[in-house]
Structure 1
Amino acid sequence: MTLAQILLFLPAAAVVAASPGANNLLAFSNGSRQGLLPSTIALFGRCLAFAIMIAMVIVGLGALLEVSELAFQIVKWAGVVYLAYLGVKMMIGRDQGAAGGTSVAQGACALARREFLVAMTNPKAVLLFTAFVPQFITRGGESSFTVQLVVLGALYIAVEFVAAMGWALAGSIIRSLQPSAKRMLLLNRMTGALMLGAAGMLATTRRA
């Protein structure tokens, strides 16, 4: 690994990590409904999913998803169904996150499960580590492919965490303004509609 290699990777990773998508919309929604602390803790669910994906690439399962149409479609449609489920719950006002009587830790764990499932059921997230990250790996260098993948993958997860915190912070700022129940319902419906849009976009995604 070289410093130039890392400096080239970090800004590209930041652009990818900060872009609006299902997980970042979820972080924003979590922040607006539960506040910054629970939504930040919940991001560890996404990070765990990404760490599993890196392990999958190392053992070759990522390549299977990349070349197998059946495997890709199974993961993709599981993601479509789950995103649509979350979107509908938000739009009809039945998605209130953690119940009011639960602790911060319990609420954060519930949100973390969502972050994990949204990430794991998005095949494009797996392909991130089979197509995007390997572009920055130096072939034939002193470090092996696996070592470089682990290092760059860990750096990407750190960048993703920071970027997602920005989305969660934006949501929590809206929450701190104490909008009326009517406005919060409108915000939830807008976020739900965007989540349904993300489900639709995922449904049209191809392996290429």
Structure 2
Amino acid sequence: MLSFQTALTFFGFSLVLGLSPGPDNIFVLMQSATQGRKAGMLVVLGLCTGLVVHTLAIALGLAAVFAASAMAFLILKVLGAAYLAYLAWGAFWAPVSEDTSITATQLQTRQLYLRGVIMNLTNPKVVFFFLAFLPQFVSADRGSVAMQLIELGAVFIVATIIAFGSISYFAATAGQRLRSSARAQRWMNRTAAVVFAGLAVKLALSQR
């Protein structure tokens, strides 16, 4: 079992990492700004669901097997880049409306959640990050290593919800006025498309 000091230190590091610019929090920021706070939080929950899968994979040793496979890395990288490109296309051609009483968030609750899940699971860099980051806080003297990894994963998820939730809140607040203007909506959609396309290219060019 983790000591309180270890858990607190790990939580602090995780919170800072969650607030540092990266693909996932930029993704949350754009979704929140263009579709609202609820949409952003659904994406956050989806991303954290993906983190649950990664945590269990680390604890069971599956992640190490994946990390050793160049083909698995390539397949996930291509799938992730393709999905981001698909989102970029959708954002670029997204319709705009002066009526903000009916939002994409209400119409696409399941889709928004799945966006977060897919975004996280198809990013092979998350596996390598967990493999490098979590074991640094594990001690064989404190019992089951697998259980400690699961506890660290849970702490990381809590920190992620706080960090990404804050980003979602402020981004949605900033985007609220813009969403009342058709022209501003179109501008935000085009910006989101460029950001998603950029993330797709970055992921496609990433190396192990």
SS of corresponding position for 1:93: coil
TM-score (normalised: structure 2): 0.87
Q: Percent identity?
A: 27
SS of corresponding position for 1:164: helix
User: Any gaps of 5 or more consecutive residues in structure 2?
Assistant: none
User: Any gaps of 5 or more consecutive residues in structure 1?
Assistant: none
Asked whether the 8 Å contact 1:64–1:71 carries over to 2, the reply is no
Are residue 152 (structure 1) and residue 177 (structure 2) matched? no
Alpha-carbon separation, structure 1, partners of 2:8 and 2:110? 34
Asked whether the 8 Å contact 2:59–2:146 carries over to 1, the reply is yes
Q: What residue is the counterpart of 2:174 in the other structure?
A: 174
Q: What residue is the counterpart of 1:18 in the other structure?
A: 19
Asked whether the 8 Å contact 1:42–1:109 carries over to 2, the reply is no
Are residue 2 (structure 1) and residue 17 (structure 2) matched? no
TM-score (normalised: structure 1): 0.87
Indicate the RMSD between aligned Cα atoms, in angstroms.
2.4
Q: CA deviation at 1:14?
A: 1.5
Alpha-carbon separation, structure 1, partners of 2:80 and 2:158? 24
Alpha-carbon separation, structure 2, partners of 1:124 and 1:28? 20
Q: May I ask how many residue pairs the two structures share in their alignment? A: 203
Asked whether the 8 Å contact 1:42–1:108 carries over to 2, the reply is no
Residues 161-190 of structure 1: CA deviation (Å, up to 9, x unaligned): 111112211221123224521122112212
Counterpart residue identity of residue 44, structure 1: L
